[in-house]
Chains A and B, each alone.
Chain A
Amino acid sequence: MSKEKFDYFINGEKGKYEVVIGLEVHAQVLSNSKLFSGSSTKFGADPNKQVSLIDSAFPGMLPVINEECVKQAVRTGLGLNAKINNYSVFDRKNYFYADLPQGYQISQYKNPIVGEGKVLLDMPYGSKEIGIERLHLEQDAGKSIHDMDPSSTYVDLNRSGIALMEIVSKPHLRSPDEVNAYIKKLRTIMRYLGTCDGNMQEGSLRADVNVSVRKVGDKNFGTRCEIKNVNSIKFMQMAIEYEAHRQVELLEDGKEIDQETRLFDTKKNETRSMRSKEDAHDYRYFPDPDLLPLKLEQKLIDDLKKSLPELPDNKKERFIQEYGLNSYEANVLVSEKEISDYYEEVAKLSDKKLAATWMMGDLFAMLNDKGLNISNSPISAKNFAELVQSIKSGEISGRIAKEVFEIMVESGDNPKKIIESKGMKQQSDPKELEKIINEILSKNKDKVEQYKAGKEKLFGFFVGQVMKLSGGKANPQLTNEILKKLLKG
């Protein structure tokens, strides 16, 4: 497909504008305890029930790095084909807020744990590489709750100190669709790695979105605005659409764009200014003297690399090679690890290509209808494979298979059992079929004459009659062959 068809440009009076987007994704590290304390990270606890003296910054408390969080960051970096830095430093980012107990966030500034990497997106116009600038570890803040009391703000520190990975992309994204693909790809990679659950409803994955516009063909970037803390892909796309159009309008009116931080109002579907560049915080970053620089031994990195699971890009290649799938099928089937696992289990026991077709067709449609995931599918991979095999062997026709599938969804039964008990087996015995066909032909002698005289369209009529007489069980391929042979004679 041509790239032009998918170009995301905004037309103004003065020209065509391109949108330039970079994302700072905040991904919560999957770990049992927080980045610098032993508190639990489990979601959904009562307010302030998962807070240690360290998380609430009592006098004399000191941070101690959680090694599992470091490993998770390294794994993620490896999954992003990125450079892992053997030496990185934790810095303090200083600012005051009620839900930031220390008065600073421990983050990584000049020396992040992960350097440049890349992510491949599969777009309808081909694959596109998005550069990763860096990934660093940092603490999450607590939560201020403003709507519980008319005059007070409440603070919940359960989230305070949880490990986040900030993944900063290069400004390589050009449309809301690419942002959608990028976030989904990141999420897929991290879920494969088990480093982030990617659950956007629970806030495990959120992003600051940097947007600027420029005339198509311009080499220089326009002034960017940063839209803070957007927590769904849909909102990111809406925010980008709104923000890009707002910026184009300003430029069309001959006005300048102020570099600023903006918020996306999900109710009004618009972005609005939060603070200008002049009001930007001076975070006074400096290396945290409570923590030594993080030195990673190459062996640790190598060991983590060796223990990495197969990642979606590799798996896709393998699916194409090993199972003869096309790129589109392979893409869909590797999009979630659980889907790929299910497919592989089915493909081991049945026809690989047919399995893919049926999974992506009837199985996904059913799951979608019922609001289910592959992991709680009512049809087990083994049963699904048997169904596919029954179709492939000619035991049942595709039409019958759909009926069997319905019954499997309802009962969870094995397809063989259903086919047996309901007598749905396809008629594939040539002698039996010949008997049926002869009966049809002798009943319709006039039509046979017409056919022989050249009215070949009547072939379909004979097939239909065979199906009718066999209760839909006649093997269509075999029926065609025998019918042709007998009509010739």
Chain B
Amino acid sequence: MSNITNQSLSEILESIKSKKISSLELTQAYIKNIENAKKLNAFVTTTFDQALENAKKFDNKPNNEQLLSGVPLAVKDLFCTENVKTMAGSNILNNFVPSYESTVTKNLWNNGAFLLGKLNCDEFAMGSSNETSFFGNVINPIGDHLVPGGSSGGSSSALAADLTPATIGTDTGGSIRQPASFTGTVGLKPTYGLCSRWGIVAFASSLDQAGPMTKTVNDCSIMLEAMSGFDEKDSTSINKKKETYSKNLKDNIKGLKIGIPKEYRVDNMPKEIDELWEKGKKILKDLGAQLIDISLPHTKYALPTYYIVAPAEASSNLARYDGVRYGYRSQKGKDLIEMYENTRSEGFGDEVKRRILIGTYVLSSGYYDAYYLKAQKVRQLIKKDFDDSFTKVDAILTPSTPSSAFKIGEKTNDPVSMYLNDIFTVPVNLAGLPALSLPAGLDKQGYPLGLQLIGKALDEQKILNIGYAFEKNCGYKNEIKKWWS
């Protein structure tokens, strides 16, 4: 039983169901792991007492009919959790305790899971390395000098280090897929509107989407099934029948058409990324899929478009953090304006301020048409590229990131190089599509690399199936030495 925590979620669920392990034993095992992994700085808040309480409750009256029966889960600290601190990696929400539960986490708890703790993340999910968090950077279990990716870096780190059996993150421009890629785990950004945004601290409303981060594709389908669903409290939520992704998971992908976009072969891309992509193509081809060259001509505009749209929305979404009603308030200042200025100066970190400034600028009168409006038009073209391609193919295969995990501090003084990390992931958010990042291999340093499968809107089942088949034939396995404990 000692190594229960390095098993997949589905294996753990099986063990609980067959009473090989109790929910309490499972929870205790994770708590032990978490206490031994403080060096990773993956958790900002733990809810051990509450978790143990819930585990006992489950063991006393086990209900094994649920998707996540008796499983403790840690979640990104961007999800509001009732009576549990929710701080979004920011000083401005330091010690903020919501009186409400986000729809997505509530869905998890309604499926039998319970909260283990809250996971560190980049401040307001703005970052690709988890270095912008007010609560300190998170370390990648792959190596003590490596970033875990971002913004869901606490989630990827905790998952890879066996501190939670599965987790959830949010993905605005790659914040699930890039950290998954950096830690050798599976991450899915669902179709925009599949998971409710209600109760998630907002970054960029038209791009934000919650999704699962797991060790296997099967786990991913279970988590997605549990967390998704229509929510009338979110006007952008899609009203459709709930799907049973895990039950319908199939590894037969014979005859499926896989698009290979030529624009994703970018300049200066490391050779090993290219090789990884080739490997992926070969695996899918060997499984009977048909590879088709496609073109997504507006790809090169995706990153600049993203860095206009996302900061614009963020500058407005973050206006509510003014020190008036909740969160951090500066004690300095002689009037309302000074209170605002001091509160926001002291409450926000540099990256958040940078994006608020960019966002405010691109929405300003005189600049709106040149930046925001144009970006929205380009966004439509990017979406159209995908729509056109999906008349010809079932899914698209690309690398997840242009590199493996980089060193802590390596890019902190070069925001543009940091932003470039999202080059393969942001087009998907702009188009509102689902995309799955799968661990696919290692670079020459032995760091994990991921491949991305992009699907049609609401075609999660198909990319999960392809991922499932890929996973079985890829032979990738995370071998992480627990150097921290």
A98 to B339, CA, bound (A): 11
B381 lies within 8 A of chain A by Cβ = no
Whether A60 lies near B324 (C-beta < 8 A) is no
Whether B235 lies near A292 (C-beta < 8 A) is yes
A57, A60, A92, A104: the one contacting B198 at CB < 8 Å is A60
B324: chain A residues within 8 A (beta carbon): 98, 101, 155
A62, A102, A153: the one contacting B320 at CB < 8 Å is A102
Interface-located stretch among B179-187, B199-207, B266-274: B199-207
Whether B96 lies near A59 (C-beta < 8 A) is yes
B31 lies within 8 A of chain A by Cβ = no
Q: Separation in Å of the A369 CB from the closest CB of chain B?
A: 49
Interface-located stretch among A269-277, A283-291, A411-419: A283-291
Decide: A64 near B232, CB < 8 A? Known: A59-B93, A284-B365, A286-B372. yes
A96 lies within 8 A of chain B by Cβ = yes
Decide: A286 near B199, CB < 8 A? Known: A92-B316, A96-B322. no
Q: Separation in Å of the B282 CB from the closest CB of chain A?
A: 40
A461 lies within 8 A of chain B by Cβ = no
A56 lies within 8 A of chain B by Cβ = yes
Within 8 A of B (CB), among A59-111: 59-65, 92, 94, 96-98, 101-104
Whether B363 lies near A292 (C-beta < 8 A) is no
A58: chain B residues within 8 A (beta carbon): 98, 100, 325-326
A62 to B99, CA, bound (A): 15
Whether A282 lies near B365 (C-beta < 8 A) is yes
A200: chain B residues within 8 A (beta carbon): none
Report, as a range, how many residues of chain B touch the other chain. Answer: 35 or more
A98: chain B residues within 8 A (beta carbon): 322, 324, 336
A59: chain B residues within 8 A (beta carbon): 80, 86, 88, 93, 96, 98, 201-202, 320
Interface mask (A174-188 → B, CB under 8 Å = 1, otherwise 0): 000000000000000
Whether B232 lies near A284 (C-beta < 8 A) is no
A60 to B204, CA, bound (A): 11
Chain A residue with Cβ nearest B196 = A62
A222 to B424, CA, bound (A): 55
A61 to B322, CA, bound (A): 16
Whether B98 lies near A284 (C-beta < 8 A) is no
B209 lies within 8 A of chain A by Cβ = no
Decide: A53 near B100, CB < 8 A? Known: A60-B198, A63-B235, A284-B363. yes
Whether B340 lies near A60 (C-beta < 8 A) is no
Report, as a range, how many residues of chain A touch the other chain. Answer: 20 to 34
B198: chain A residues within 8 A (beta carbon): 60-62
B364 lies within 8 A of chain A by Cβ = yes
A58 to B364, CA, bound (A): 25
B372: chain A residues within 8 A (beta carbon): 286
A62, A103, A284: the one contacting B235 at CB < 8 Å is A62
Whether B102 lies near A96 (C-beta < 8 A) is no
A92 to B364, CA, bound (A): 13
Chain B residue with Cβ nearest A99 = B324
B99: chain A residues within 8 A (beta carbon): 53
Whether B319 lies near A290 (C-beta < 8 A) is no
B189 lies within 8 A of chain A by Cβ = no
Q: Separation in Å of the B236 CB from the closest CB of chain A?
A: 6
B319, B336, B365: the one contacting A104 at CB < 8 Å is B319
A104 to B233, CA, bound (A): 20
A362 to B88, CA, bound (A): 70
A96, A155, A289: the one contacting B319 at CB < 8 Å is A96
A60: chain B residues within 8 A (beta carbon): 80, 98, 100, 102, 197-202
* A61, A63, A104: most-surrounded residue (chain B CB, <10 A): A61
A153: chain B residues within 8 A (beta carbon): 336
B363: chain A residues within 8 A (beta carbon): 94, 284-286
A101 to B323, CA, bound (A): 10
Whether A289 lies near B235 (C-beta < 8 A) is no
A285 to B367, CA, bound (A): 12
A60 to B186, CA, bound (A): 26
Interface mask (B117-147 → A, CB under 8 Å = 1, otherwise 0): 0000000000000000000000000000000
The 9 closest A-B pairs by CB, nearest first: A103-B319, A289-B205, A284-B363, A289-B206, A57-B320, A60-B199, A59-B201, A60-B80, A290-B205
Chain B residues within CB distance 8 Å of chain A: 80, 86, 88, 93, 96, 98-100, 102, 197-202, 204-206, 232-236, 312-313, 315-316, 318-320, 322, 324-326, 336, 340, 360, 363-365, 368, 372
17 further A-B pairs in the complex, CB-CB below 8 A; given A59-B98, A103-B316:
A56-B325, A57-B320, A58-B98, A59-B86, A59-B93, A62-B234, A64-B232, A64-B233, A94-B319, A96-B340, A101-B324, A103-B320, A155-B324, A282-B365, A284-B316, A289-B236, A290-B202
